[in-house]
Amino acid sequence: MISARSAFFLTEAVGAASTMAAASRLGVFDALGAGSLTAAELASRCGLAEAAAERLVLALASIGVLERDGGCYRLAVDAGLVESQSALWGRLPDVVRGGPTAGFDEASIAAGKYPSLVGFLHALGEAPARRAAVPLAAGLPADGRVLEVGTGSAAWSLALVAQQPSCQVTAFDLPRVLNVTRRSVQDAGRIDCYRFLAGDVFLDELGGPYDLALVANVVHLFGEDRAIELLTRVAAALRPGGRLAVIDVMPNPGDPSRRAALHDLSLLLRTRARALHPYGSYARWLRRAGLEPIARHRLDPDWEVTLLLASLVPGR
């Protein structure tokens, strides 16, 4: 029999999805894309019953899609995020039948998709990033040089800089994503700690040598061969004895948490590799890249977000 916790989740999940779908069909997100509106103004623009519109926007605010400012409502997410995510998940039946993915593991497609997702992904990573910062800062020289690959909003390195303000971070990502990275770093007041390097991690130079390299929520986009290639390229940018930190959702094989299982399903939609990888795979790949795993930290037990720290073995 279903548990009370699962029953509540199922009810809320279906309700939240239906609420967002209805708001999209009714033109609510388009109307709010131009600026804040009261429920009455929104009802007038979208042809809604005013009392029902008030309840709709309150529900949207309760799930974080809208923000309330006095009597007005505004979008709390990128205007196209809800629609793009709805369209992505709408492809699930076709992809489960073997149809093509959205191709987020291709640089040309990722460059167009990720800028609108960066703020959303930053919110998901903030709490685990704060937990990761303590072991990442341990052993890092005061003026340590840090590389963050696939930096996005720089959530992980910004948490590290908060722990070790004198370190210097090279933020590496696709050019269009780095525009968002720079704004995030400026908003955090840490621009002096950063340099920005645009490129494709499989094709372009990463600079270095670095004391620490961060690869957070990137490897899950790729299968084994590509993952080993990525980790090997990043390891080559480390100084001897330098550390590589891999952060990702690493589910228990065959028994993932609810969040991990849904995240894995989203990867089925987005990438050809189509999978989260367990700890054992990462440990094997790190050794293939010339590193030895030295520490494993679970950052979020509800989501199986895990930090692996490995050191570059001198002479390999």
d(CA 305, CA 298): 6
What pLDDT is stored for residue 112 in this prediction?
58
pLDDT, tens digit only, all 316 positions of the chain: 788 888 888 899 999 989 988 998 999 999 998 899 999 999 999 999 999 999 999 999 999 999 998 889 999 887 677 777 787 888 889 988 888 877 766 655 555 555 656 666 666 678 889 999 999 999 899 899 999 999 988 999 999 999 999 999 999 998 888 988 999 999 999 999 999 999 999 999 999 899 999 999 999 988 899 999 999 999 999 999 999 999 999 988 878 888 888 888 888 888 776 678 999 999 999 999 999 988 899 998 777 899 999 999 876 5
Query: What pLDDT score was predicted for residue 255?
Result: 83
Q: Retrieve residue 173's tokens.
A: 């990502």
Q: Is 161 exposed, middle or buried (0-12, 13-18, 19+ CB in 10 A)?
A: buried
**Residue with the two structure tokens 């720290």:** 309
Which residue, among 105, 55, 60, 108, has the nearest Cα to 82 in the 3D structure?
Answer: 60
Q: Which pLDDT score, from 0 to 100, does residue 197 have? A: 97
Tokens representing 292? 């030895």
Domain boundaries, the chain: 4-79, 107-312
SS3 call for 68 = strand
| Cβ-contact 36, 73 below 8 angstroms | yes
The count of C-alpha atoms lying within 13 angstroms of the C-alpha of 173, restricted to the half-sphere facing its C-beta, is 28
Instruction: Name the pTM for this structure.
Output: 0.82
d(CA 261, CA 39): 36
Architecture of domain 4-79: Orthogonal Bundle (1.10)
SS3 90: coil
Report the C-alpha gap between 140 and 245 in whole angstroms. 12
Residues 6+ apart with CB under 8 A from 196: 170, 171, 178, 181, 182
Residues 276 and 199: their CA atoms lie apart, in Å, by 24
Contact 77, 119 (CB under 8 A): yes
Per-residue pLDDT, 1: 78
* E strand or H helix that includes residue 20: helix 4-25
Q: Cβ atoms within 10 A of the Cβ of 94, count?
A: 12
Has domain 107-312 been given CATH number 3.90.230.10?
no
